[in-house]
A and B are shown apart, each in its own frame.
Chain A
């Protein structure tokens, strides 16, 4: 009955343990198969696969972050892509500063786009980004701070449901418009790209790519365990209570706005970390990452995988993106229709998502090994 979130109880159910186990194994095995096994061997994992799956892992971390607020607290954020992109920009700024004099214009400090715009000095916002720890701090702090400010006003004013969703959507759209502008100071339309190296290692080198893959897998495992620790604590029960009956929770004496703010900020920081890991793997960050469609796509991953299950959210992100990779190769013009159909069909026939439905197949086995509330799969859509 102890609810102490020790590592053992966090792995308490088999699904979570398998999930973390697979990630840890992949973090070791995939780099080895990529680097140490010769390309002629059938066991060799090509670098483009490593990069592709590494990218999916960062999407999965974004999905876990989104599931934490949506699945467990009923906050349907349609702007989580903004936190992801802000984390990505923080990493991109670090990578830009690492280019140094190797840019086209060979300016010792200013990135190429600033030289091109005839800027004389580095804007204040860019100060300190040559230091990796500072850039990583910003990748967490900037999304966290934005989530704090937005949440502070929205939750105190009791903005809920579809209205909150619209506000988050407007936030990411406004940021997109801002980042598109050259005088905003973040590379405008083109964004940040042409990265050379990260922590002194060439960003193109297979070894670096394998390491980024491993770090992404570890980050996803850690993000999952943190989210798990939150939802299995008593605080997690309060979150689910808020999701199901917000005003009842207030009458029990819980300050609902504080709980929402906490989980929203944690989730935004997690999304920021995901974005920071995404950028060095894809090699570019531009304002289109703020596009509302990206945030909505993340919601679809979570819905397909299973809202309120954490593992489902991560699997949903990986499966949908695997399908996207396949589709855009075979039938590129049909992908958006397929994605839309997937969302409609999931909502109609699998409202609990893949993992939520699978768990429903073994209700008794599940109940015995597992206290309900841990996986708070949802009976009906919130909005």
Chain B
């Protein structure tokens, strides 16, 4: 049977541009992510990293270009909830958890399952769901604190809880925005390890400033600058690129 998909890539950004009040935040950006890949995105402030995440997750609609997910869905025509349901999860730069819910309820809300109003009005926790909750809470080391309010967690624990919520969502693609910002060195190393483990079963895009962390991940790196791709390759390759050095050090 003929494969009807436009591209074998998991995510394919094709000539995407968006301007805010005349400022081109993303300028003819094209990027391909293979299924199962983990990719690190780096770039100076204002390079368009977060805007790119916003476009992929439906928060921002691009002026031009297409964003094709799994070769079949044009994400530019869908809203955030539809995109999340298709299997794209997002972790924000600032940990965003539901503070007045318990740690467990945060994960429960993220857990893969029906998202409709009626289904959730009559939802009861199944045994399988409970096992999955236990498993995730153990993985992100929050099982002891499951009945506490998320507001009472430390910054690092909130980051982990949010990663746990992403795991519960079980998306095909995870977008992770600065996961180690504000973490200690030990927490940073643990987070790199956790992301590698997640990558065994999920595709991941990580946006990060911390070069030691990116080196730790050991994956292909894309450098963004002024809304488009400046260089792509291993961290050593892009670090040797003169333009990259200029952008990072020359200003």
**A interface residues with partner B (beta carbon < 8 Å):** 1-4, 230, 233-235, 237-238, 240-241, 244-245, 247-256, 258-259, 262, 367, 371-373, 376-379
> Which of B59, B108, B110, B122 contacts A247, CB < 8 Å?
B59
Q: Give the Cβ gap from A372 to chain B, nearest Cβ, in Å.
A: 6
Which A residues lie within 8 Å of B147 (CB)?
Answer: 367, 371-372
Contact A1 B115 (CB under 8 A): no
Known: A234-B123, A235-B123, A379-B99. 8 other contacts (CB 8 A): A3-B123, A4-B124, A240-B101, A244-B98, A244-B99, A245-B96, A247-B59, A373-B105
> Which of A2, A237, A238 contacts B124, CB < 8 Å?
A2
> Given contacts A241-B101, A248-B92, A372-B100, is CB(A235)–CB(B120) below 8 Å?
yes
Query: In the complex, A253→B116 CA distance in Å?
Result: 9
Contact B98 A253 (CB under 8 A): no
> Given contacts A251-B90, A254-B81, is CB(A1)–CB(B125) below 8 Å?
yes
Q: Give the Cβ gap from B138 to chain A, nearest Cβ, in Å.
A: 17
Contact A240 B120 (CB under 8 A): no
User: Which chain B residue lies CB-closest to A230?
Assistant: B121
Query: In the complex, A150→B130 CA distance in Å?
Result: 38
Q: Give the Cβ gap from B131 to chain A, nearest Cβ, in Å.
A: 13
Contact B117 A250 (CB under 8 A): no
> Which of A235, A371, A379 contacts B121, CB < 8 Å?
A235
> Which of A4, A262, A373 contacts B101, CB < 8 Å?
A373
Most-contacted residue by chain B among A238, A252, A373, A379 (CB, 10 A): A252
Name 8 A/B residue pairs within 8 A (Cβ), A-sorted: A3-B124, A233-B122, A240-B100, A240-B101, A245-B96, A251-B89, A251-B90, A255-B116
Which B residues lie within 8 Å of A367 (CB)?
Answer: 147
Query: In the complex, A379→B151 CA distance in Å?
Result: 10
Contact B102 A233 (CB under 8 A): no
Query: In the complex, A379→B169 CA distance in Å?
Result: 27
Query: Number of contact residues on B: which range applies?
Result: 35 or more
Which B residues lie within 8 Å of A235 (CB)?
Answer: 117, 120-121, 123
> Given contacts A233-B123, A258-B117, is CB(A372)–CB(B102) below 8 Å?
yes
Which A residues lie within 8 Å of B124 (CB)?
Answer: 2-4
User: Which chain B residue lies CB-closest to A4?
Assistant: B124
Q: Give the Cβ gap from B200 to chain A, nearest Cβ, in Å.
A: 23
- Count, A-B residue pairs, CB within 8 A: 97
User: Which chain B residue lies CB-closest to A258?
Assistant: B117
Contact B84 A378 (CB under 8 A): no
Query: In the complex, A136→B90 CA distance in Å?
Result: 47
Contact B120 A252 (CB under 8 A): no
Which A residues lie within 8 Å of B84 (CB)?
Answer: 250-253
Query: In the complex, A229→B100 CA distance in Å?
Result: 19
Q: Give the Cβ gap from A202 to chain B, nearest Cβ, in Å.
A: 42
Contact B115 A255 (CB under 8 A): yes
Which A residues lie within 8 Å of B68 (CB)?
Answer: none
Contact B169 A252 (CB under 8 A): yes
Residues 140-153 of chain B: 1 if any A CB is under 8 Å from the residue's CB, otherwise 0? 00000001010100
Interface check B165, CB cutoff 8 A: yes
Contact A237 B99 (CB under 8 A): no
Q: Give the Cβ gap from B162 to chain A, nearest Cβ, in Å.
A: 9
Interface check B190, CB cutoff 8 A: no
User: Which chain A residue lies CB-closest to B85?
Assistant: A253
Contact B57 A251 (CB under 8 A): yes
Interface check B14, CB cutoff 8 A: no
Interface check B80, CB cutoff 8 A: yes
> Which of A234, A248, A259 contacts B96, CB < 8 Å?
A248
Which A residues lie within 8 Å of B110 (CB)?
Answer: 252
Contact B98 A248 (CB under 8 A): yes
> Given contacts A1-B125, A3-B123, is CB(A237)–CB(B105) below 8 Å?
yes
Q: Which of B49-69 contact A (CB under 8 A)?
A: 57, 59
Q: Which of B129-174 contact A (CB under 8 A)?
A: 130, 147, 149, 151, 165, 169
Q: Give the Cβ gap from A238 to chain B, nearest Cβ, in Å.
A: 6
Contact A233 B100 (CB under 8 A): no
Contact A255 B81 (CB under 8 A): yes
User: Which chain A residue lies CB-closest to B89?
Assistant: A251
